[in-house]
Amino acid sequence: MKSDAQHDTDDSLRSHDEDQTAETGQIFLFPTGRGNRGKSFFTRWAVEEARNAGKEVIVADGDCTNQTLSAYFQDASAPPSADQVSITKWFEDLVQKQIESRKSLIVDFGAGDRTLKHVAHELSLVSFLQNFGVQPVAIHFVGPDTDDLAYLQSFETDSLFAPDATIIVFNQFCVPPHIPQATAFSDSIAESEIIRQILDRGGDIVVMPTLGCAHEIERRRISFMGAIDGETKDDLPPLGLIDRQRTRMWRDNMKKAFATVQHWLP
């Protein structure tokens, strides 16, 4: 059992950690969403932007069936195996590494993975991170399908992982061609109770723009800046000038779209 002096020391350390967070912007960013909702695509952009700005970010690729991030970031951490015990231990080690290193962390699990939910329930993860000066951020990627709200709800139920810093991303890429972009979300999910609940506690909504040549960048496994600069891989030709311009404009539009929540990003 700790003495009163030890408790005072722990409290002092936590207070110091919280002060440091304001200076360093130490973020625990967890993207969620059903498959093909854009969370890995966004994560690539967020990591690239942070590192281009000179910020240190730990990248964690927890998708054991499709390790997309590992193809773009050589230093991405990944579980040693697909065994659930190993994945959980790997994730918990990452959280401790973040706290000790004072870096931001982005964790991308595959759709349906329950590792974070398990750890969040066991550790009260939101308050645990906050006690060590880390800002937990949930970022939910949704399309205009109401089934996406059920996935979001699973994190909100009993505040399992529902920090005040919660971002809802309406991904325009997910809108079917026959549905008008302007009303796709307002006609389906924007007025739902769960959305209002998140906004009422201080969350925000971002509309994520579409990059028309995204598949060409993914074929080459290059960064967005690399695509603009004419880089390529696997004997494929560089992007043409028009697609480079599309990528350049998309980067500018992403910065504008996420400007209101930039303080919640690494």
**146: confidence class by pLDDT, cuts 50, 70, 90:** confident
Q: What DSSP assignment string belongs to 143-169?
A: -S-THHHHHHHHHHGGGTT--S-EEEE
| pLDDT at site 11 | 47
DSSP 238: P
Report how far residue 238's alpha carbon sits from residue 232's, in angstroms, rounded to the nearest whole number.
Answer: 5
Checking if the pLDDT of 168 tops 70, the result is yes
**Average pLDDT of the residues in 121-135:** 96
Taking residue 231's Cβ as centre, other Cβ atoms within 10 Å add up to 13
What percent of the chain has a predicted confidence (pLDDT) above 90? 66
The 10s digit of each residue's pLDDT in 31-56 is 998 877 889 999 999 999 999 999 99
Lowest mean pLDDT among 3-17, 113-127, 141-155, 205-219: 3-17
According to DSSP, the residues that pair with 138 across neighbouring strands are 30, 166
Lowest mean pLDDT among 5-9, 186-190, 249-253: 5-9
Report H helices in 31-124: 39-52, 68-72, 84-101, 115-123
The model's pTM is 0.85
